[in-house]
Amino acid sequence: MRKVKLYDTTLRDGSQGEGISYSVMDKVRIARELDMLGVHYIEGGWPGSNPKDMEFFLKMNKEQLKNAELVAFGSTRKSGTKSKDDSNLKALVRSKVKLVTIFGKTWDLHITDVLRTTLEENLSMIKDTVGFLTGQGLTVFYDAEHFFDAYKDNPEYSLKCLLSAQEAGAKAVVLCDTNGGTLTSELSRIIKEIKPQIKVLLGIHCHNDSGLAVANSLTAVEAGADMVQGTINGIGERCGNADLISIIANLKLKMGIDCILDNKLKELTAVSHFVSEISNMNQRSDQPYVGVSAFAHKGGVHINAVVKNPKTYEHIDPILVGNHRRILVSELAGKSGVLLRAKDLELDLSKENPQTKKILKLVQNLEHQGYHFEAAEASFELLMKRSLKKYKKFFELEGFRVVIEKLSDKKITSEAIMKLKVKGVKEHTAAEGDGPVNALDNALRKALRDFYPTLSKMRLSDFKVRVLDEKAGTAAKVRVLIQSQDEKDSWNTIGVSENIIEASWQALIDSVEYKLLKDNLK
């Protein structure tokens, strides 16, 4: 069976999408999911462009990836300088990765109008950069930016750019449809023309400005590409990148091409939803393969046919990609996900277990209210253990009050007053914070610190809010996702309510209780 390498650039190209901003821990969590899925390369960012990306790479040096290789991204040296003096290239070396991807200009329009240099100098920039990095012991991939536009304008020169990188020691050259405007027929023709001269790994990198990124990526594979670049859910600048979720499913199920292990294919839906949640984006319900509507059937002829034979209106069995069939007149959402998570938590929840129906019904009701546990694994574990009575409360809330005050031109202040019962002892505390959630967190810790000292090693590292029904205006429900971490782990919790303070409190309580449960305190 033919094999194709997967190159994920969610953490770099995907993060350039409007409205997306990842913390370092967000990037680490996504990298872990991508590694679990089995992608071959994870492009983590551009360490020469910002401190956060450099921090990510240094943090990832302590991670043990099982399947993927971490990649740092950068550009060719600047015109008129030496590679050894280029700060961008030195940052790549400092990131301590073994593999780097360098992008360079191939379109003479960009070379003359943007770089303001000569075509010969651009070739030298490519050769010098690749040569310098390989001389540092790094494996180098070369991204030929705007390649298809370049080839249509000046095929001889654009090909020289590829060959320059190849001759300088690049282990892969990647053809980029950076503007996303190349038609599938053009792309296929061009790849077939240049393929005989490429002796290294040939990659494809498509943007979706014409709605063709996935189709173009698959066509490139048919034309001879050995590696596909893309992002989870197709996120990225402007109209996004090629969606690796659809690409993986199509390669495996439609084209018979190996790209991930067979037993990982069923993780596609979970990974897709996980990245959406961390990206603070609404999951597209109609997203191919993994959207909640991808295998949904509503009334009439369709339902009648699907009940008799699902193949009548489904192009694949949804279980293959971890999704499920939905008959909209009889909602069954959530069952497979709950049982899968229960298995991961080593909880005895088979279909025959009398507790199963109760828990599944609870999860269904919560999901209907707006909860989504794919990116809140700590809240889900607490829910399961509470339902199975494998959990003991560490404290009881008697009440709290939050005061937000604004005086003249002074900044807004927040104060939380809280009453708790901890191990039979009543605690009454107050604390200020930068906002109402921070004030609640400070008051809660203040009440618990003498009873549970390890809470001092825990902190909230991220806070996300999403309005679930924009049409409801100020009465809409909100979903709050809190990320917490200690010296060893990080975890996520969730809360949903029409009141943002209540939703935040739910997520905050779960965060603290999960930490105490994790530490096995009594």
Q: For each of the chain's 522 residues, which pLDDT tens digit applies?
A: 799 999 999 999 999 999 999 999 999 999 999 999 999 999 999 998 889 999 999 999 988 999 999 999 999 999 988 999 999 999 999 999 999 999 999 998 989 898 899 999 999 999 999 999 999 999 999 999 999 999 999 999 999 999 999 999 999 999 999 999 999 999 999 999 999 999 999 999 999 999 999 999 999 999 999 999 999 999 999 999 999 999 999 999 999 999 999 999 999 999 999 999 899 888 888 999 999 889 988 665 777 787 788 888 999 999 999 998 876 533 343 454 466 567 767 777 776 777 777 887 887 788 788 888 767 889 988 988 888 888 888 999 999 999 998 877 778 889 999 999 999 999 999 999 988 999 999 999 999 999 999 998 898 888 889 888 765 555 678 999 999 988 778 899 999 999 999 999 999 999 999 999 888 754
Give me the pLDDT at residue 336, please.
47
Q: Output the six-digit token pair for 367.
A: 């999901």
pLDDT for residue 331: 34
Pair (75, 193) in one structural domain: yes
Total structural domains within the chain: 4
For residue 147, the domain's CATH number is: 3.20.20.70
Separation of alpha carbons 76 and 188, rounded Å: 27
Q: Compute φ and ψ for 142, nearest 5 degrees.
A: -115, 120
Could you tell me which of 298, 290, 344 has the C-alpha nearest to residue 320?
A: 290
CA distance 108 to 119: 7
CATH of the domain at 317: 4.10.430.20
- Which of 407, 206, 290 minimizes the C-alpha distance to 37? 290
Of 169, 224, 183, 229, nearest to 205 (Cα)? Answer: 229
Please state the length of the chain: 522
Which two three-digit tokens encode residue 17?
Answer: 């999408």
If asked whether residues 441 and 474 sit together in one domain, one would say no
Backbone angles phi, psi at 177, to 5 degrees: -95, 75
- Domain endpoint, select from 254, 274, 298: 254
Q: Which of 220, 238, 254 marks a domain boundary?
A: 254
Residues 377 and 301 in one domain: no
- Report CA dihedral (187, 316, 294, 247) to the nearest 10 degrees: -30
Question: 160: which residues sit within 8 A by CB, 6+ positions away?
Answer: 123
Q: Please give the order of strands across the beta sheet that includes 459-467.
A: 459-467, 478-485, 490-497
DSSP letter at 70 equals: E
Assess whether 140 and 287 both reside in one domain: no
**What was the pLDDT predicted at 195?**
97
Instruction: Kindly give, in sequence order, each residue whose CB lies less than 8 Å from that of residue 242, ignoring residues fewer than 6 positions away.
Output: 205, 206, 207, 208, 213, 214, 216, 217, 228, 229, 230, 231, 234
Q: Are residues 42 and 170 in the same domain?
A: yes
In terms of domains, do 221 and 349 share one?
no
Task: State the residue range of the domain holding 388.
Answer: 335-392+457-522
Same domain, 21 and 73: yes
pLDDT number for residue 179: 96
Q: Which stretches of 393-494 are DSSP H helices?
A: 436-448
Please give the Cα distance from 371 to 324 (Å, whole number).
Answer: 18
Instruction: Tell whether 52 and 159 lie within a shared domain.
Output: yes
Could you please report the per-residue DSSP string of 24-42?
HHHHHHHHHHHHHHT-SEE
Which H/E stretch holds residue 505? helix 500-518
481 backbone dihedrals φ, ψ, rounded to 5°? -120, 120
Q: Are residues 70 and 173 in the same domain?
A: yes
**What is the reported pLDDT for 334?**
43
The CA distances from residue 139 to 51, 104, 105, 161, 209, in Å, are 23, 16, 20, 18, 31
Q: Return the DSSP state at 69.
A: E
Vertex 267, ends 263 and 268: CA angle to 5°?
120
CB-CB neighbours of 318 under 10 Å: 21
**Angle (nearest 5°) at CA 347 between 492 and 488:** 35
pTM of the predicted model over 0.75: no
Strands laid side by side in the 413-422 sheet: 396-405, 413-422, 425-433
The pLDDT value given to residue 368: 80
Contact 203, 141 (CB under 8 A): yes
Residues 401 and 269 both lie in one domain: no
Rounded alpha-carbon distances, angstroms, from residue 239 to 17, 203, 206, 413 = 8, 21, 11, 40
CB 48 within 8 Å of CB 92: yes
Residues 430 and 466 both lie in one domain = no
CB atoms within 10 A of CB 196: 8
Q: What is the CATH number of the domain that holds 362?
A: 3.30.160.340
- What's phi and psi for 433, nearest 5 deg? -160, 170
Report in angstroms the alpha-carbon separations of 16 from 231, 239, 481.
11, 11, 22
Same-domain pairing of 387 and 373: yes
